[in-house]
Amino acid sequence: MEQIKIITPEEVEAKVEAGEAIELVDVREDEEVQEGMIEGAKHIRMNDIPANLDYFDKEKEYIFICRSGRRSENVCHYLQEQGYKVTNMDGGMMHWTGEVIVK
């Protein structure tokens, strides 16, 4: 199995603050996202990823986020096997210190 690329929450925050065009996907459950998510992130629950493959573009890279980094890592393995460019945010929202928005 190919190694999944990782990015730290601090690196993601720097990219967000710099206004970089990054694709963030939050795979947490609805009730977790209600506590706050990174602005600009797309919310697609982990179990809904297979039904939403048409959202993803194989030419773009996506950064996946969950609470601790485990579910998003699983999503990364799945999508990487499908030929998508993926990166996992290490430590998940538990290590996020930046701004969050509440939906």
- pLDDT per position as a tens digit, 1-23: 689 999 999 999 999 999 999 99
For 1-103, list the strands marked E by DSSP.
5-7, 23-26, 42-43, 61-65, 85-89
* Residue-level pLDDT at 2: 81
Three-state DSSP class for 33?
Answer: helix
SS3 content of the chain, % helix, strand, coil (to 5): 35, 20, 45
Catalytic residue among 66, 76, 89, 93: 66
CB neighbourhood size of 31 (10 A): 7
Instruction: State the residue range of the domain holding 55.
Output: 5-95
Looking at the domain assignment, is residue 100 inside a domain? no
Q: What is the CATH number of the domain that holds 12?
A: 3.40.250.10
- pLDDT per position as a tens digit, 28-60: 999 999 999 999 999 999 999 999 999 999 999
Looking at the domain assignment, is residue 101 inside a domain? no
Looking at the domain assignment, is residue 102 inside a domain? no
Looking at the domain assignment, is residue 103 inside a domain? no
Amino acid at 94: M
**Could you confirm whether 76 is annotated as catalytic?**
no
